[in-house]
Structure 1
Amino acid sequence: MQLTGRIAPDNLMTLEAYARWRKQHKPEVIAHRKLRSVALGEHVTVQFESELTMRYQIQEMLRLEKIFEEEDIQAEIDTYTPLVPDGGNWKSTMLIEYPDVNERQRELARLIGVEDRMFVEVEGHPRVYAIADEDLERENEEKTSAVHFLRFELTGPMRDAVKAGAGVKLGCDHTNYPAHVAVGPETLASLAGDLK
């Protein structure tokens, strides 16, 4: 899978080529996703996306749905490319996970607005709160969604600090889910590669 900085129909693999590539490279993509996944407390996971994770997602959708029509391929690209970081930000999928369905319903009701209270904090700089769910609203008056899409916009000095080795915290200051964690060095090194 070739990373080009721009996902387009002409640089995706055919279904046949992807099937061959997938057999050999799926473990690498899983390892990349795991590296860029940060647990925040017991019930929230933030998966920082990349061109690789989104290319893989698009190729998987094309494979699973057997999509080969040009307009349908473009629709998949249009759905997933907004989650590719653009050099000035980190983009992520936030998953709220409660295995028990009753507990999940109760907690999602208590966590309304949690996506807007997610932040990253680059050492020596103020917190940057997530811009959440730009594609569509994912909560209502009764509960929040178990899945949110987050964008963290970083200033030039923040990006420079990360690339120079500054520590980064991921956190949430929602009343019902206060948590923060230092992003591990391997994960941070991968995330630094997203920044220009």
Structure 2
Amino acid sequence: MTANGAAVSGGTLVLGGARSGKSRFAEKLALKSGLNRLYVATSPIIDEEMRDRVALHKAQRGDHWRTVEEEFDLVGVLTCEANAETVVLIDCLTLWLNNLVYRKKNVAEETAALCHALMHLKGPCVLVSNETGMGIVPENKLARSFRDDQGRLNQDIAAVCRQVVFIAAGLPLLMKPNQQPDITL
């Protein structure tokens, strides 16, 4: 149980900025498990540049991964695929959120459903997400709203995961569980 009483699962949330090394870290973590590996790709292929990126990522992962492309139904994938013999890597929650916003889905409901699924996993799961709130405040309403949604999504997922790791410059910082002292004034 967390300090606020929420149950934690075996999930691991890996956060970081663009090109921070978060996906590479998450893949290495999954490899270290020794389990079968399932890569859940949330990115829609919208143009040739994205198609090339996806092909490069698949080639870099190699043949030891099974890939499922799913832009929306992460709960369905976890329900069907998570088990004690398989580690599921979801890359990434930021693109999943983008897909939800673009299709005008209810982000709060989808996030709650994903958190519920993570709390009842039958196997390990690693989730990759961008930390978008550490830069300049975006100049337009849509971008500010997305940044806010991303921050709430990350907080909700972090609350139900057993581990949270922040990546900067390829270096991991364990955020949860932590051994920080209780800070008071």
TM-score range (shorter-chain normalised) is under 0.3
Rg larger for: 1
Structure 2-normalised TM-score?
0.27
Higher RCO (CA-CA < 8 Å; seq separation 6+): 2
